[in-house]
């Protein structure tokens, strides 16, 4: 392009033309355009910007050899057609959506949202979408890991041992990709679906935070498909949900109260998931079989779908409570988890010592429980729950000052008995000193930050008040059943008590077998229990035969048909968790064990390979023989299963070494116990037991 000729020749003419409003440019060989005609009329020559535009416009015309008006006209036409098309499309699409498409909305405050997102993240079509959101996918403690992905181990100082190294573990975890905000489409079971992911910011006036309203993001998924029925979308959501729970089938979900800021939204915001751990098989809890069967059949009966009707017909509130009591480390929590696993229930753990928990919160938490679940109140004795009969008397026991006050009052009481007229005014006759004392107490409490906490009546109200939730299984655990108020454990609140004791020789034997049996061998093949428990119904099988409950003349349940054959127990399972059978529901055939690790020494730290594959094998009969020898050296009822487990864990690959060491360990432990009994307390026992490990 010859700029000098344009500038030297064409430009002055153009400038002159545009300046003087000339309406002809025939000297450039171009016809007069629309602009040339319109510009004087519109007064373009007075506007410097428009003048510049005119110059550029003419320059373009000269360069292209056509009137730029045509280009502009075509551009305007394209724009108009596009506008009309867009409008038409929107209208037609809107009409089609309205009349020929069904849609379902899912909010991110609902669990289905997470089920759907997890499912979408696993769809190849979605993964290859051009518009994605990347998320950091972190693995839970119990999720399977690929051992081949382990970082090459570092060689230790002596050059022989190797240790695992997880320094770049996070870097290796691939991100998770989900559909970005906007419109997406995918096919599912031969059907076309549209997914719209939307986000909007809500101004939450009720947000407490520091009393300031806050913005809150709310996300919505809108799923649509062609057809007037939302059936396919429902199927899709059901499928996503099933896939989600398939991953969690053999897991027990543990929930705790959500933070206070979340709890106030109520219902599903009241609880948050804190763990998702593998189901604890019932066989791993070493406890008297009779006790296990008693509680299992009691719970099974309670959870049966026919039970609510039975309770309703008799006007009995549908609640069941259990109290597990016994020394620390005897399996109270373990049994609670195993029970939840057998019945496929989630566990809701509440600590009454939580400083943020008020009685209103407790009530709200109980009312937002799902239909069937296990509520676990651990170490209920530590919550200091007491019946408040007379606040004055109750508080009077807290300090020597108060004792004096109590004595004064008793003194006053006796005086008043002599002059009944005066006694009527007792409560109102506050002296200045009384008032000062009360104020001091109230001030002292708030200054020291002492928590008012949950009172016994608050707890009772939550667990069986008029507004309390029905259908849940309440399990309370305690080390000191005698310290509990009898109101808390009266029948109706606690229906079954299970006493846990230190390990018997039989239990020691079972613990030994469980510790050294290979992972892939089921308990029954080497069971040393007289009546092994395999109490489960495979997930896919139909539910157990409906039972009937009849009562004797005292109203006690006498016959629970369908549950009488406890030997081959059929227990209800909501999720199928805890199943300890092969996929076809049969018990696996016993496989030979070979635990020939007697040469293993604990001094050598296992390598990555040995950690994973060093399950040496031993014949079941040999293992049973070792277990019997071990049990014979454990005194009955002296050690908790947790203590025995701790000892065995230190020798987890060496059953014979455990046998060799057990006498010395028992002697050391007994000495520590005697010392503790002689006055130094339970702490000495614990420290002593650690020393003799």
Ligand X SMILES: Nc1ncnc2c1ncn2[C@@H]1O[C@H](COP(=O)(O)OP(=O)(O)OP(=O)(O)O)[C@@H](O)[C@H]1O
Point out which residues bind ligand X (CB under 6 A): 284-287, 328-334, 477, 479, 500, 641-642, 645
Q: What is the C-alpha to C-alpha distance for residues 71 and 290, in angstroms, rounded to an integer?
A: 94
CB of 328 to ligand X, least distance (A): 3
Q: What is the C-alpha to C-alpha distance for residues 415 and 425, in angstroms, rounded to an integer?
A: 13
CB of 330 to ligand X, least distance (A): 4
Residue with the shortest CB distance to ligand X? 331
Beta bridge partners, 195, equal 184, 223
Beta bridge partners, 188, equal 191
Smaller CB separation from ligand X, 196 or 291: 291
Task: Label the pairing between strands 176-179 and 132-135.
Answer: antiparallel
CB of 335 to ligand X, least distance (A): 7
The single residue listed with the structure tokens 């613990």 is 511
CB of 519 to ligand X, least distance (A): 16
CB of 100 to ligand X, least distance (A): 58
CB of 595 to ligand X, least distance (A): 20
CB 297 within 8 A of CB 560: yes
Smaller CB separation from ligand X, 445 or 479: 479
CB 186 within 8 A of CB 121: no
Task: Label the pairing between strands 251-257 and 271-278.
Answer: antiparallel
Smaller CB separation from ligand X, 225 or 376: 376
The single residue listed with the structure tokens 């079989």 is 289
Smaller CB separation from ligand X, 479 or 608: 479
Smaller CB separation from ligand X, 307 or 501: 501
Smaller CB separation from ligand X, 285 or 494: 285
**Helix axes 68-100 and 48-64, enclosed angle (nearest 10):** 100
Among 44, 219, 266, which residue's Cα sits nearest to residue 116?
A: 219
CB-based contacts of 240: which residues, under 8 Å, 6+ apart?
112, 115, 116, 118, 119, 120
Smaller CB separation from ligand X, 381 or 594: 381
Smaller CB separation from ligand X, 73 or 531: 531
Q: What is the C-alpha to C-alpha distance for residues 279 and 311, in angstroms, rounded to an integer?
A: 30
Q: Please report, for residues 244, 646, 678, 680, the alpha-carbon distance to residue 665 in angstroms, rounded to integers and kept in the order given.
A: 47, 11, 20, 20
Q: What is the C-alpha to C-alpha distance for residues 82 and 87, in angstroms, rounded to an integer?
A: 8
CB of 600 to ligand X, least distance (A): 23
Q: What is the C-alpha to C-alpha distance for residues 177 and 122, in angstroms, rounded to an integer?
A: 8
H or E stretch covering 185: strand 182-188
CB of 348 to ligand X, least distance (A): 17
Smaller CB separation from ligand X, 351 or 645: 645
CB of 254 to ligand X, least distance (A): 13
Q: What is the C-alpha to C-alpha distance for residues 544 and 154, in angstroms, rounded to an integer?
A: 54
């Amino acid at each position: 392009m010859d700029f000098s000729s344009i500038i030297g020749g064409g430009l002055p003419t153009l400038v002159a033309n545009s300046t003087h409003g000339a309406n002809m440019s025939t000297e450039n060989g171009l016809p007069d355009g629309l602009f040339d005609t319109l510009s004087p009329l519109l007064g373009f020559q007075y506007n410097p910007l428009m003048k510049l535009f005119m110059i550029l416009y003419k320059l373009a015309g000269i360069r292209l050899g056509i009137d730029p008006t045509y280009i502009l006209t075509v551009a305007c036409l394209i724009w108009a057609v596009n506008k009309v098309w867009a409008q038409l499309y929107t209208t037609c699409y809107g009409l089609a959506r309205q009349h020929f498409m069904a849609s379902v909305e899912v909010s991110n405050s609902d669990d289905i949202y997470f089920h759907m997102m997890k499912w979408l993240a696993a769809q190849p079509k979605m993964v290859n979408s051009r518009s994605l959101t990347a998320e950091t996918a972190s693995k839970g403690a119990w999720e399977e890991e690929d051992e081949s992905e382990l970082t090459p181990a570092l060689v230790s100082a002596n050059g022989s041992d190797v240790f695992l190294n997880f320094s770049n573990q996070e870097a290796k975890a691939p991100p998770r990709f989900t559909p970005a905000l906007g419109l997406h489409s995918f096919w599912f079971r031969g059907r076309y679906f549209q997914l719209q992911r939307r986000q909007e910011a809500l101004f939450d006036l009720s947000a407490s935070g520091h009393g300031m309203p806050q913005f809150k993001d709310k996300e919505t998924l809108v799923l649509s498909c062609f057809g007037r029925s939302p059936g396919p979308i429902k199927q899709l959501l059901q499928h996503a949900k099933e896939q989600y729970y398939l991953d969690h089938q053999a897991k027990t979900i543990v929930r705790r109260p959500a933070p206070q800021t979340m709890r106030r939204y109520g219902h599903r915001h009241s609880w948050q998931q804190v763990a998702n751990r593998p189901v604890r098989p019932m066989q791993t809890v070493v406890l008297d079989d009779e006790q296990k069967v008693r509680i299992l059949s009691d719970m099974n009966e309670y959870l049966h779908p026919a039970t609510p009707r039975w309770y309703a017909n008799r006007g009995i509130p549908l609640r069941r409570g259990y109290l597990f009591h016994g020394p620390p480390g005897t399996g109270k929590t373990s049994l609670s988890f195993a029970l939840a696993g057998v019945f496929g229930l989630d566990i809701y753990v509440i600590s009454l010592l939580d400083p943020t928990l008020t009685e209103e919160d407790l009530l709200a938490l109980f009312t937002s429980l799902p239909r069937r679940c296990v509520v676990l109140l651990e170490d209920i004795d530590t919550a200091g729950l007491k019946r408040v009969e007379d606040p004055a008397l109750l508080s009077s026991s807290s300090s020597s000052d108060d004792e004096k006050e109590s004595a004064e009052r008793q003194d006053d009481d006796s005086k008043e008995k002599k002059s009944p007229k005066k006694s009527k005014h007792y409560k109102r006759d506050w002296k200045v000193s009384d008032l000062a004392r009360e104020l001091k107490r109230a001030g002292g409490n708030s200054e020291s930050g002492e928590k008012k906490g949950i009172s016994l009546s608050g707890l009772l109200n939550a667990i069986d008040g008029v507004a309390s939730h029905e259908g849940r299984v309440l399990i309370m655990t305690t080390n000191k059943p005698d310290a509990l108020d009898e109101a808390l454990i009266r029948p109706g609140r606690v229906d079954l008590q299970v006493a846990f004791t230190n390990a018997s020789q039989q239990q020691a034997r079972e613990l030994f077998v469980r510790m050294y049996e290979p992972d892939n061998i089921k308990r029954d093949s080497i069971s040393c229990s007289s009546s092994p428990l395999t109490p489960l119904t495979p997930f896919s099988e139909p539910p157990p035969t409906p039972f009937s409950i009849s009562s004797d003349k005292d109203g006690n349940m006498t016959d629970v048909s369908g549950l009488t054959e406890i030997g081959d127990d059929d227990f209800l399972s909501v999720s199928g968790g805890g199943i300890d059978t092969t996929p076809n529901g049969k018990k696996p055939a016993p496989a030979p064990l070979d635990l020939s690790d007697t040469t293993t020494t604990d001094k050598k730290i296992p390598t990555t390979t040995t950690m994973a594959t060093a399950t040496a094998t031993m014949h079941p009969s040999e293992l049973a023989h070792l277990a019997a020898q071990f049990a014979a050296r454990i005194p009955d009822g002296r050690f908790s299963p947790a203590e025995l487990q701790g000892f065995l864990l230190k020798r987890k690959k060496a059953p014979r070494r455990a046998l060799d060491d057990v006498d010395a360990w028992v002697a050391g432990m007994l000495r520590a116990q005697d010392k503790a009994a002689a006055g130094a307390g339970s702490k000495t026992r614990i420290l002593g037991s650690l020393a003799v490990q």
